[in-house]
Homo-oligomer: A and B are copies of this chain.
Amino acid sequence: MSSTLRPDGPRPDGAAAVEAYATSDAAAPTADVVPSSAAPATTTPPTTTPPLGQALVEAADGPFHVLRERLRREVLTADLLRDPTLDLAAAREWTTRQTRRFADSGCASIGYPHQYGGTGDASDLPVCFGMLGYADLSFDIKVGVQFGLFAGSILTLGGPWHRETYLRDALAMRLPGAFAMTELGHGSDVQHVETTIRYLPATEEYEIDSPTPTATKAYIGNAARDARMAVVFGRLLAGGTDHGVHAVLVPIRDEAGTPLPGVTIGDHGHKGGLLGVDNGTLRFDHVRVPRRLLLDRFGGVTAYGRYRSPIENRNARFFTMVGTLVRGRISVGGSAAAATRRSIALAARYALRRRQFPVPGGESDVLLLDYLTHQRRLLPRIAEAYAYGFAQNELLGQLRRWDGLESPDVGVERELETRAAALKAAQTRWAVDTVQAMREACGGAGFMTENVLTQIRQDVDVFVTFEGDNTVLQQLVAKELLVGYRAAWGDLDLLGMARVAARTLGEAVLERTAAQPLIARLVARAQVRDEEGLPLERGWQVVMFEDRERHILESLAHRAREAARARPEEAFAALNALAPHMLAAARAHTDRLVLEAFIAGIDATQDGRAALLLDRLCDLYVMSTLEADRGWFLEHHRITPTRSKEISARVDALCGELRPYVADLVEGFGIPEVLLDAPMVRD
């Protein structure tokens, strides 16, 4: 079996553009996929063709290319390079200044309705926040707190009066605000916050109170320094009844910046990263605000104290209330991935300059990137960068469709929330691990602050635990999968399910992505092919990913049904034992979503050379993902030991084949040059 690129070999159906290109004159007739500026080109591309890197940028930007290009031009400038040696006070000052500048530029209202100066497309907001991750994460998060969480709560949880009164000031940063949801004792457990919002009919006011130390609002961005007002989440008490979690606007500082009476503000001070974000604590001692400050779109109290809500189901109401979080999760996943791409680009450029140890018998030292061990550090990460990029685009598209719905659709919303949680957890985990790997790949130079990587590393760290702790989010994903599974299969037992043909089962069990018809064709083709070259057959790859997800989910459902029969005093132990299985289900599900998005992304790529390169990069993504979890595939007889070793050999071979295109591939991230400057990559 050949280990070289096969531009004229069998291609999966979905890569029609690639096939067309591969048989055209412009295709390289040798092992090189495409002519590359960094690689010894065997043919010269037609002069009218755009540079390969630019074609990759367009492919990776997908439907958001125009907006992203605007952000590259107007926002991602050298002004956003924070001096990483600034102390806490200076870093906060810098970040506030940049946030104001961002508001002044008019970009803060991107994603808001036209009447507030926005683009009118709410999904633009997380596109924008994601792009800011290329610059400075403190700035990005501060922008997210002010224009996403704070202003976003006014837009989505408030009524017309709240919007008209506060939204313009919030978007102009004339009214800096905080989003006070998390409590010291209730990080991931929002449903059990202790803060109370009690209605007082005599004065038509709400009284906000922190009854216990654990009710303290904690890690609140903007709280320690800038915020004048906070969106405070607490339990709404009216007429002797607890109506569950609601949000209310509470002024917390006066014009001079002094905390208002009854409001105690703490400062978390120095943190492991994101020094520019002023996280603080908030405590309320029977603070009163007028009745109209309750963000009452989904539930409020009449002057006489009667509770009213357009959503009858209490649980559904809660999830609608905290729905603001979905945009936040989509945003931080995108930001973390952007910051990670920046770290990969820096490490790749370093590896293309740095030499170490002499070539045996040669004249110069070996370039770092020519070491297989180094290729194995970088190239799978590059493949993952594109994979997550396409998956994030698909998620943003889903958000856009959801925003465009005429009437609320609980099913669509839950699916969106599940995917947002899955991709937030996956991308932020990938981010922390990858930035660290890139730091290490640059040795001592990578540890010097001037070379940017340690700053990215410190700033991205908290992304795995904030905006939903990853472990909690993955369990949420698994629970949703189980719910969907139960809806599809009811009380069929395992044997009953096994009797159903595997494919039918799979299609009903697995939520389909946008690429459904394409994927179905690939899979159908894989079924009839013989073994040769199988691991590089896209249909086989999809089957492997689908099959793992389905099997894990089925066995989890079986165990969950057993656990549900446990006696009450054993219920916790029974559920607890399932937790690692649930995490595995979430991971397998996410991997499959990402692969399908990658395939759809390649299919949508117009440029033949870019598509061809992405197609091979997708092979690397699949091979390295299978390699990492080969224990599972072997345990469940999905691959033979021989196949398993072949997969590892494929990773090696693909690294070597893609190595000449590394410069193009990182150019394809579309990171403005000014943000990729560092002494270690300077001439």
Q: How far is the CB of A573 from chain B (nearest CB, A)?
A: 9
**With A272-B447, A636-B641 given, is the CB distance from A87 to B87 under 8 Å?**
yes
Chain B residues with Cβ below 8 Å from A571 are 360-361
Which DSSP category, helix, strand, loop or mixed, fits chain A's interface?
A: helix
Flag whether A635 is at the interface (Cβ < 8 A).
yes
- Is the C-beta of A9 less than 8 angstroms from some C-beta in chain B? no
Q: When each residue 169-195 of chain A gets 1 if its CB lies under 8 Å from chain B and 0 otherwise, what string results?
A: 000000000000010011111001000
Q: Is residue A5 contacting chain B, with contact meaning CB distance below 8 A? A: no
| A573-585 contact mask (Cβ, 8 Å, vs B): 1 or 0 | 0011101100100
Interface size bracket, A side: 35 or more
Determine the chain B residues whose CB is within 8 A of the CB of A372 once the complex forms. 576-577, 579-580
Task: Flag if A432 contacts B443 (CB, 8 Å).
Answer: no
Name A188's contact: one of B356, B450, B569 (CB within 8 Å).
B356
Residue of B189, B436, B446 near A357 (CB, 8 A) is B189
- A469 to chain B: which residues have CB within 8 Å? 443
| Chain B positions within 8 Å of A446 at CB level | 272, 465
Question: Which residues of A (356-404) have their CB < 8 Å from a CB of B?
Answer: 356-362, 365-366, 370-373, 376
Q: A189 contacts B635, CB within 8 Å?
A: no
Q: Tell me which residues across on chain B come within 8 A of A454, comparing CB atoms.
A: 271-273, 458, 461
Q: How far apart are A449's CB and chain B's nearest CB, in angstroms?
A: 4
A356 to B472, CA, bound (A): 11
Q: Are A219 and B444 in contact (CB under 8 A)?
A: yes
A626 to B: closest C-beta gap in Å? 10
Asked whether A447 and B471 contact (CB < 8 A) given A360-B571, A372-B577, A372-B579, the answer is no
Q: Are A580 and B376 in contact (CB under 8 A)?
A: yes
Closest B-chain residue to A465, C-beta based? B443
CB distance from A392 to the nearest CB of B (A): 22
Quick check: is A466 within 8 A (CB to CB) of the other chain?
yes
Type the 1/0 row for A465-492, where 1 means its CB is closer than 8 Å to any CB of B.
1100111000000000000000000000
Docked complex Cα distance between A268 and B448 (Å): 7
Task: Give CA–CA (A661, B1) in the complex, Å.
Answer: 54
In the bound assembly, the distance between CA atoms of A218 and B444 in angstroms comes to 9
List residues of chain B with CB within 8 A of the CB of A62: none
Cα A372 to Cα B271 in complex, Å, equals: 29
Task: Tell me whether A84 is interfacial, beta carbon within 8 Å.
Answer: yes
Query: Is A457 part of the contact surface with B, judged by Cβ < 8 Å?
Result: yes
- Cα A88 to Cα B449 in complex, Å, equals 12
Q: How far does the Cβ of A457 sit from chain B's closest Cβ, in whole Å? A: 7
User: Is there an interface contact between B447 and A462, defined as CB atoms closer than 8 Å?
Assistant: yes
Minimum CB–CB distance from A441 to chain B (whole Å) comes to 9
A439 CB-CB contact with B under 8 Å: yes
Residues from chain B with a CB closer than 8 A to the CB of A576 are 370-372
B444 with A464: CB separation less than 8 A: no
Q: Contact between B449 and A192 (Cβ–Cβ < 8 Å)?
A: no
- Closest Cβ–Cβ distance, residue A52 to chain B (whole Å): 26
Q: Does A497 contact B (CB under 8 A)?
A: no
Q: Which residue of B lies closest to A218 (CB)?
A: B444
Report A367 CB to chain B, min CB distance, Å.
11
Q: In the complex, which residues 630-681 of chain A have their Cβ closer than 8 Å to any Cβ of chain B?
A: 630-631, 634-637, 641, 644-645, 648, 652
A97 within 8 A of B: no
Say if the beta carbon of A161 comes within 8 Å of chain B: no
CA gap between A377 and B373 in the complex, in Å: 28
Do A271 and B449 touch (CB < 8 A)? Answer: yes
A447, B631: Cβ atoms closer than 8 Å: no
Q: Is the CB of A652 within 8 A of B580?
A: yes
Which chain B residue has the least Cβ–Cβ distance from A453?
A: B272
A257 at the interface (CB under 8 A from B): no
Q: Shortest CB–CB separation between residue A280 and chain B, in angstroms?
A: 11
C-alpha gap A421/B457 in the complex (Å): 27
- B439→A466 contact, CB < 8 A: no
Docked Cα-Cα span, A376 to B648, in Å, equals 28
- Digitize A263-291: 1 where CB-to-B-CB distance is under 8 Å, 0 elsewhere: 00000111111000000000000000000
Q: Of all chain B residues, which has the CB nearest A648?
A: B580
A267 → chain B closest CB, angstroms: 11
Whether B448 lies near A271 (C-beta < 8 A) is: yes
Chain B contacts for A356, CB-based, 8 A: 186-189
| A85 interfacial contact with B, CB 8 Å | yes
Q: A361-B571, A440-B465 are in contact. List 5 more A-B contacts (CB 8 A).
A: A219-B444, A271-B454, A371-B576, A372-B580, A443-B465
